């Protein structure tokens, strides 16, 4: 009996530990990957619709070409370019009845699919935010406060995106007309200073920024202070960097970890940056609309209307020029780069 008792005690302790052991919290990277996969799946219908519309336009173009109708062929090609390059439709420069009919069918179906995507996104984002809440609490209990703060920022960004979707729009201020617009770089507009390491050329109507070594920004001649916004339409092969204030920086395709987005507080040294795993990659060969909002207490980074990062802090002293540029051998193609100085609110 004396031998059996210790064994029973050990078994009881093991059973107790097994029954009451806390499961490990999920990895935030895995949660983000799962979210991205699910959101991409929800958008398959959009890609299929655009492919069908493109095919229908090709067939219509062939028919009009056989008729020798040059204005109709040009109108169709303009329509195809808008859908392929922007993923959305602007008002056509020219049209004719058959093209207008096709366009009407496409827009009605597009509206239906987009409505379904928003509904699915809201559900997925809510689940993602709730899962992150659990991760944040677990990290806090473990004493990993820095990691918990990063997750907290991701939760805020996710909730902000949900609010924007519920309001019927994506979380961006692209071309909303607010603030004093200052175009830094665009066709026939040049209000910039060029770093000696940065080479500026033009290719097919676009500006090309290159460098062989280090950071090489193209910066504005004018200074900005919060609240202000940066907007750019750009493509990159390698690292793409944005600059603001004395030391503020946003890095896409970071050389040390291309998938991690880096955001630097303009009031701290350049080495003091916040990393956002899975948010930093820009695919080569693809053009993106990028917006960076610098407010007095937050910095928000958006790509094609989707929030990639939200950094909280005191940014009231983030005054200085704004810039864009390549680094360490990268190449950046820029359609435009501009800033909006918002009204100062006390």
Domains: count for the chain? 2
Tokens of 10: 């050990």
284: domain CATH number is 2.60.120.560
For the cut 90, the answer to whether the pLDDT of residue 48 exceeds it is: no
* 199 and 253 assigned to the same domain: yes
End residue of a domain, out of 166, 198, 223: 166
* 106 and 194 assigned to the same domain: no
* 202 and 301 assigned to the same domain: yes
* 189 and 93 assigned to the same domain: no
Mean pLDDT, residues 7-35 taken together: 65
b/e for 295-323, b at 16 or more Cβ within 10 A?
A: beebbbbbbeebbbbbbeeebeebebbbb
How many Cα atoms sit within 13 Å of 249 on the Cβ side?
24
For the cut 70, the answer to whether the pLDDT of residue 19 exceeds it is: no
Q: What is the pLDDT of residues 256-308, one digit of tens each?
A: 999 999 998 887 765 578 899 999 999 999 999 999 999 888 899 999 888 88
pLDDT number for residue 169: 43
* 118 and 39 assigned to the same domain: yes
Number of other CB atoms surrounding residue 335 within 10 Å: 16
For the cut 70, the answer to whether the pLDDT of residue 90 exceeds it is: no
Residue 167's alpha-carbon distances to 88, 116, 164, 178, in angstroms, are: 20, 15, 5, 19
* 189 and 287 assigned to the same domain: yes
pLDDT number for residue 92: 55
What phi and psi values does residue 334 have, to the nearest 5 degrees? -125, 125
End residue of a domain, out of 136, 166, 196: 166
* 90 and 143 assigned to the same domain: yes
Return the closest-CA partner of residue 305 out of 107, 182, 127, 169. Answer: 169
Rounded to the nearest 10 degrees, what angle do helices 97-142 and 70-86 cross at? 10
pLDDT number for residue 55: 85
**Percent of all residues in the chain with a pLDDT value above 90, rounded to a whole number:** 35
Q: What is the pLDDT of residues 205-218, one digit of tens each?
A: 899 999 988 888 99
**Would residue 139 count as lying in a domain?**
yes
End residue of a domain, out of 141, 166, 191: 166
Strands in 187-254 per DSSP E: 189-190, 192-194, 199-203, 206-210, 218-220, 228-237, 240-244, 248-252
Please provide the average confidence, as pLDDT, over all residues in the chain: 82
Report the distance separating Cα 17 and Cα 19, nearest Å: 6
* 187 and 321 assigned to the same domain: yes
* 75 and 201 assigned to the same domain: no
**177: helix, strand or coil:** coil
How many Cα atoms sit within 13 Å of 192 on the Cβ side?
27
Q: Which domain holds residue 132?
A: 31-166
* Contacts within 8 Å (CB) and 24+ apart, 273-278: 273/249, 274/150, 274/153, 274/309, 274/311, 275/150, 276/150, 276/153, 276/154, 276/308, 276/309, 277/28, 277/29, 277/32, 278/29, 278/32, 278/33, 278/36
Dmax over CA atoms of the chain, in Å, equals 103
Which contiguous run of DSSP H or E holds residue 335? strand 331-341
Report the distance separating Cα 161 and Cα 125, nearest Å: 8
Residue 131's alpha-carbon distances to 82, 202, 307, in angstroms, are: 38, 47, 18
* 158 and 269 assigned to the same domain: no
């Amino acid at each position: 009996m004396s031998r059996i008792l210790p064994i029973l005690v050990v078994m009881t302790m093991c059973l107790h530990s097994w029954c009451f052991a806390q499961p490990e919290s999920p990895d935030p990277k895995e949660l983000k990957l799962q979210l991205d996969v699910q959101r991409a799946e929800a958008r398959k219908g959009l890609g299929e619709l655009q492919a069908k519309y493109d095919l229908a336009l090709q067939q219509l173009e062939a028919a009009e070409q056989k008729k020798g109708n040059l204005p109709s062929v040009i109108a169709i090609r303009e329509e195809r370019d808008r859908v392929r390059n922007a993923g959305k439709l602007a008002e056509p420069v020219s049209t004719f009845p058959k093209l207008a009919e096709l366009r009407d069918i496409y827009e009605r179906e597009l509206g239906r699919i987009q409505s379904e995507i928003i509904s699915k996104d809201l559900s997925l984002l809510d689940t993602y935010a709730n899962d992150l809440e659990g991760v944040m609490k677990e990290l806090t209990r473990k004493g990993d406060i820095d990691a918990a703060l990063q997750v907290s920022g991701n939760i805020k960004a996710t909730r902000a995106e949900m609010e924007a979707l519920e309001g019927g729009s994506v979380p961006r201020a692209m071309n909303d007309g607010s603030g004093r617009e200052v175009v830094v770089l665009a066709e026939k507009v040049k209000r910039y200073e060029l770093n000696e390491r940065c080479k500026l050329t033009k290719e097919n109507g676009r500006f090309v920024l290159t460098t062989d070594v280090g950071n090489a920004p193209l910066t504005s001649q004018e200074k900005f202070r919060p609240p202000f916004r940066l907007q750019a339409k750009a493509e990159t092969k390698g690292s793409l960097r944005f600059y603001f204030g004395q030391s503020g920086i946003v890095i896409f395709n970071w050389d040390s970890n291309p998938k991690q987005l880096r955001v630097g507080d303009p009031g701290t040294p350049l080495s003091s940056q916040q990393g956002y795993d899975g948010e930093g990659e820009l695919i080569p060969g693809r053009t993106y609309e990028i917006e960076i909002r610098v407010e007095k207490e937050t910095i928000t980074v958006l790509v094609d209307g989707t929030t990639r990062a939200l950094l909280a802090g005191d940014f009231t002293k983030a005054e200085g020029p704004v810039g864009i540029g390549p680094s360490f051998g990268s190449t950046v193609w820029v359609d435009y780069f501009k800033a909006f100085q918002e009204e100062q609110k006390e």
